Amino acid sequence: MTLPRKETRFLLIALVALLLLPFATMLLGDRAWLLSLSVGSYCLLYMINAQALNVQVGMTGLLNLGPIAFVGLGAYTGALMLTAGDNALIGFYAGFVPELSGHLRWVLFFLDPNFLAYLTVIPVAIVLSMLLSLLLGLPTLKLSGDYFAIVTLGFAQIFYLVVKNEAWLTKGSAGVTDVPALFSFCTGPNRIEFFSHTAHYFFGVAVLAVCLYVVVRLRDSYLGRGLLAVRDNELAAQSNGVNVAKYRMLSFMVFSALAALGGVAMLARAKFVSPNDLNFMESILFLCCVVLGGMGSVRGVLLGGIALGALGEVMRIGLPVVSETIGYEIPAQVRYVLFGMILILVMRYRPNGILPVAAEEHAGGLEKLGAHRDAEPTFFKLGTKG
């Protein structure tokens, strides 16, 4: 099946816009440029992780309340490998990669020892994260939806406490500091050099592009149709020969792989990770991005990620300006009050998200399986007691 053209166009435009953003804001001056990079790279983390979660929650209908554990695993794997033995990994690459200087460093960025080290770390993080999801998923995926949700919630809490308490491995509460930058030439105190500020941003865009590609391809493959079938009507899917457990496992593993990738992107941005990054609210925010954007809709979740990521930041930067203009200091809590209200109002007036799945987007999958497609699961309908 070919990609629905409208969606492809949308996603491509979005990616190109994200790529061009730093160049565009550069014209608006230093402040706008730096701010757009900061907020932009922050939003990218939400877009990536929300897209990952979308595979599991949006497409397969498995509620996961602890995605941050997998993001954290990615970030921690990266941080620990990169800093192990006094940045031994980077030293290893620096040993046989020619040292470049000037603009050549930008052009041949893929030869940079730091970047090569990051590239090495990524597959390890992904494999570890997938193994973890396999371990957690095998015994628990047979559970019905909400029980699985509480298992993931509990797991994220346990993961957080393990990271905090096993200091011999994870460096404990103070976190892993001084993680090397994405490129060896990003470290210097050079405000002017364009690339040192934008490297992690472009890295984020690249990761997002990979995510989008994987998610769209998965959804449009026969596997994806299986996932949607499991979500829409588990019983019907099963009676049509869909192996529900297998598809659930698949979605969990794809999610965990993408989340680990998101974790590495997070690390590249902050160059620091600590248990503080693993808090429960982050999980909830990722979930909000998915539901607010429109479950299962790739475009919607992309928008959801931008919206929620930017909302907090815009309010943080904007409210003091408003306070100043009206001459009354608005308490900082107002941000979260507004945030809560926006969640409630969006759900009230657009219960299926900002950009819900258009019917034609994945029509065909179910009909091919011969399953009758239910409406969205409803408040009253699901899980009625026997």
Residues 57-86 that bind another protein (CB under 8 A): 57, 63
277 binds another protein (CB under 8 A): yes
Main-chain phi, psi angles of 230, to 5 degrees: -60, -40
Contacts to another protein from residues 6-25, by CB under 8 A: none
Strand partners, 176: 273
Residue span binding another protein (CB under 8 A) among the ranges 96-104, 217-225, 254-262, 270-278:
270-278
Q: How many residues bind another protein (CB under 8 A)?
A: 98
User: What does the alpha-carbon distance between residue 54 and residue 62 come to, in Å, rounded to a whole number?
Assistant: 10
Q: How far is the CB of 112 from another protein (least distance, A)?
A: 17
45 binds another protein (CB under 8 A): yes
Q: Which of 20, 131, 322, 332 binds another protein (CB under 8 A)?
A: 332
For the chain, the straight-line distance linking the first and the last C-alpha, in angstroms and rounded, comes to: 40
373 binds another protein (CB under 8 A): no
Q: How far is the CB of 166 from another protein (least distance, A)?
A: 8
Task: Give the rounded distance of the alpha carbon of 304 from its chain centre.
Answer: 11
Q: How far is the CB of 32 from another protein (least distance, A)?
A: 8
Which tokens sit at 89?
């990994």
Contacts to another protein from residues 287-316, by CB under 8 A: 287-288, 291-292, 295, 313, 316
195 binds another protein (CB under 8 A): no
Which tokens sit at 136?
């957690």
Contacts to another protein from residues 249-268, by CB under 8 A: 266
222 binds another protein (CB under 8 A): no
Q: Which of 16, 104, 135, 317 binds another protein (CB under 8 A)?
A: 317
Which among 367, 366, 303 has a CA at the least distance from the CA of 59?
A: 366
Q: How far is the CB of 4 from another protein (least distance, A)?
A: 23
Residue span binding another protein (CB under 8 A) among the ranges 27-35, 93-101, 115-123, 218-226:
27-35
Which among 237, 306, 284, 224 has a CA at the least distance from the CA of 56?
A: 224
Contact string (CB under 8 A) for another protein, positions 121-160, x = contact = ------------------xx-xxxxxx-xxx-xxx-xx--
Contacts to another protein from residues 352-371, by CB under 8 A: 352
Cβ within 8 Å of residue 213, ≥6 positions away: none
Q: Is 99 exposed, middle or buried (0-12, 13-18, 19+ CB in 10 A)?
A: exposed
DSSP 344: H
Q: Which of 28, 88, 123, 165 binds another protein (CB under 8 A)?
A: 165
221 binds another protein (CB under 8 A): no
Q: Which of 91, 123, 318, 320 binds another protein (CB under 8 A)?
A: 320
280 binds another protein (CB under 8 A): yes
Query: Of 97 and 284, which CB lies nearer to another protein in the complex structure?
Result: 284
Which tokens sit at 96?
């046989």
DSSP result, 182-251: SSGGGSSS-SS-HHHHHHHHHHHHHHHHHHHHHHHHHHHSHHHHHHHHHHH-HHHHHHTT--HHHHHHHH
Q: Is 86 exposed, middle or buried (0-12, 13-18, 19+ CB in 10 A)?
A: exposed
Query: What dihedral do alpha carbons 361, 305, 68, 214 form, nearest 10°?
Result: 40
Give the torsion sign (CA, 63, 69, 72, 73).
Answer: negative
246 binds another protein (CB under 8 A): no
343 binds another protein (CB under 8 A): yes
Q: How far is the CB of 364 from another protein (least distance, A)?
A: 22
Query: Of 225 and 271, which CB lies nearer to another protein in the complex structure?
Result: 271
240 binds another protein (CB under 8 A): no
Which among 126, 276, 269 has a CA at the least distance from the CA of 210?
A: 126
